[in-house]
Amino acid sequence: MKIVFDLDGTICFKGKPLTKMMINALDRLAEEGFEIIFASARPIRDLLPVIPLHMHHYPMVGGNGAFVATGGNIVSTIDFERSTADAFIQLIRTFKAD
């Protein structure tokens, strides 16, 4: 069975690494055969500092789903179509939101 854990505000707080208690609980789940998956709005590179090294190979979903990694490698990325990106840029300029 797969279990997806959101990081910020769910299993880690204020940008701090996972607590020893949380690491032990996740290790126990992994030992019992559960596949642990981490998810965050952060890019994957920003998930790594809060996760212990021995969990860096676990599947991760970052950037609100824009990046997927497994085994320490990015396996999928999703980006905006050019026309959508151009529309966002125009809105930012129109409303001087830069």
Q: What is the CATH code of the structural domain delimited by 2-94?
A: 3.40.50.1000
Question: What is the pTM (predicted TM-score) of this model?
Answer: 0.83
Distance CA 79, CA 56 (A): 24
Of 27 and 14, the structure prediction assigns the larger pLDDT to: 27
Closest CA to 58 of 68, 43, 49, 66: 68
What length is written for the chain? 98
Q: How confident is the model at residue 63 (pLDDT cuts 50, 70, 90)?
A: very high
Domain boundaries, the chain: 2-94
Is the pLDDT at 98 greater than 90? The verdict is no
